[in-house]
Amino acid sequence: MKRALITGITGQDGAYLAELLLEQGYEVFGVVRRSSHAGVFDHRLKWLGVADRVTLLDGNLIDLSSLMRIVQDVQPDELYNLAAQSFVTASWQQPVLTGQVTGLGAVNLLEAMRTLRPKARYYQASSSEMFGLIQEQVQSETTPFYPRSPYGVAKLYAHWMTVNYRESFGLHASNGILFNHESPLRGVEFVTRKVTDAVARIKLGLASELRLGNIDAKRDWGHAKDYVRAMWLMLQQDAPDDYVIATGRTTTVREMCEIAFRHVGLTMDDHLVIDEKLFRPAEVDVLLGNPEKARKAFGWAPEISLEAMIREMVDADLARLAPSKA
């Protein structure tokens, strides 16, 4: 039985990846950081019904000693580094922490693997935020990077360190350059889930307005379930490499929002308020990825449309909130 170690297992992608790897017959281990509200941390794993089938180990991406101990104990065949301070807005408020976790944290895990498990395979959660200020209309593996936030800069460091460890030490280490992907398990601070949660609240009479920042920003949105499949496929290839994972379609925040309101028979303009305070110090205006390399290498293609995903998210939020109305 293959053993997989996931950092960030309590996050959106970690939960879906754990589910996928269990289906593939893996023994799944996850790193969790100590929290004062322990007990609620694994709600995403519970939601998917996999909480009892994974082994959770205490550690922190910024504590190399904890990662060394975990890699030594688990002896993983595959390591998926999904842990990060992943909210772009927070990266301006906590730039140092973001650098430590999202950037240097990856090096801690690479070091633990290089020292103790050099034949294992490593996945780094790279991001389309590294493209930032767009240099090419459609972004691929060869598009130059120009990150626009402390988060994007930290991810770029981790990305290049992954390339460097592959070239320096011959590690099987791959970067998945993933564009935005969402699901009912998305954190409520991210725009899609913020919208679907608000639409459900408005529909149920629990709220009346939705406050957003820049609704002209465009994103290439896919579903997390499709995207974790790409992570796994990358590590099944004979040679490590870097791949863009995207849908090839870009949509404004405004259009995404309209899909959500329309689904429950409401009109967006009756409820949407633009709040200047929610604009970012530097914005990534448009992202549009070309996933051709991944399609050719291992046949990956997204299966869930933006419309289907937003409807699923609104329905999940309605179901989640309905009891509180009673």
For residue 187, the minimal CB distance to ligand NDP (Å) is 5
Whether residue 234 contacts residue 174, with contact meaning beta carbons closer than 8 Å, is answered with yes
Q: Which residues pair with 219 in a beta bridge?
A: 251
Pattern 43-82, ligand GDR, x by CB under 6 A: ----------------------------------------
3-state secondary structure of 126: strand
Contacts 24+ apart (CB under 8 A), 19-27: 19/48, 19/50, 20/228, 20/229, 20/232, 21/232, 22/50, 22/53, 22/54, 24/232, 25/1, 26/1, 26/2, 26/78, 27/1, 27/2, 27/3, 27/55
Nearest alpha carbon to residue 58 among 32, 83, 79: 32
Q: CB neighbours of 23 closer than 8 A, spacing ≥ 6?
A: none
**Which tokens is 251 given?**
């949509």
Q: Is 214 in the site for ligand GDR (CB under 6 A)?
A: yes
Whether residue 208 contacts residue 271, with contact meaning beta carbons closer than 8 Å, is answered with yes
122 assigned binding-site residue: yes
C-alpha to C-alpha distance for 90 and 307, rounded to whole angstroms: 28
* Binder of residue 60, out of ligand NDP, ligand GDR, none (CB less than 5 to 8 A by kind): ligand NDP
**Which tokens is 162 given?**
């992954």
H or E segment to which residue 88 belongs:
helix 88-93
C-alpha to C-alpha distance for 197 and 121, rounded to whole angstroms: 37
Pattern 236-255, ligand GDR, x by CB under 6 A: -----------------x--
For residue 43, the minimal CB distance to ligand NDP (Å) is 10
Q: Which is nearer to ligand GDR, 16 or 179 (CB)?
A: 179
Q: Is 128 in the site for ligand GDR (CB under 6 A)?
A: yes
Q: How far is CA 302 from the centre of its chain?
A: 15
- The correct pick among 280, 311, 312, 321 for binding ligand GDR (CB under 6 A) is 280
Q: Which is nearer to ligand NDP, 84 or 314 (CB)?
A: 84
Which range binds ligand GDR by CB under 6 A, 46-54, 109-117, 197-205, 213-221? Answer: 213-221
For residue 86, the minimal CB distance to ligand NDP (Å) is 3
Q: Which residues are catalytic?
A: 127, 129, 151
The number of helices, as runs of H, and strands, as runs of E, in the chain is 12, 13
DSSP-assigned states of every residue in 29-57: EEEE---TTTTSTTHHHHHTT-GGGSEEE
The residue type found at 148 is: R
Q: Which is nearer to ligand GDR, 213 or 307 (CB)?
A: 213
Which range binds ligand GDR by CB under 6 A, 69-77, 123-131, 231-239, 298-306? Answer: 123-131
Phi, psi of 81 (to 5 degrees): -95, 90
Residues near ligand NDP, by CB under 6 A: 7-8, 10-14, 31, 33, 35, 41, 60-62, 82-86, 101, 125, 127, 178, 180-181, 187
Q: Which is nearer to ligand NDP, 180 or 251 (CB)?
A: 180
Q: Which is nearer to ligand GDR, 27 or 283 (CB)?
A: 283
C-alpha to C-alpha distance for 51 and 261, rounded to whole angstroms: 33
Q: Is 217 in the site for ligand GDR (CB under 6 A)?
A: yes
Q: Which residues pair with 177 in a beta bridge?
A: 126, 244
Q: Is 95 in the site for ligand GDR (CB under 6 A)?
A: no
* Binder of residue 259, out of ligand NDP, ligand GDR, none (CB less than 5 to 8 A by kind): none
Q: Which is nearer to ligand GDR, 120 or 210 (CB)?
A: 210
Residue numbering of the annotated binding site: 122
Please give the residue ranges that form the binding site for ligand GDR (CB under 6 A).
Answer: 86, 88, 127-129, 179-180, 189-191, 194, 212-215, 217, 219, 253, 278, 280, 283
Which residues define the annotated binding site for NADP(+)? 122
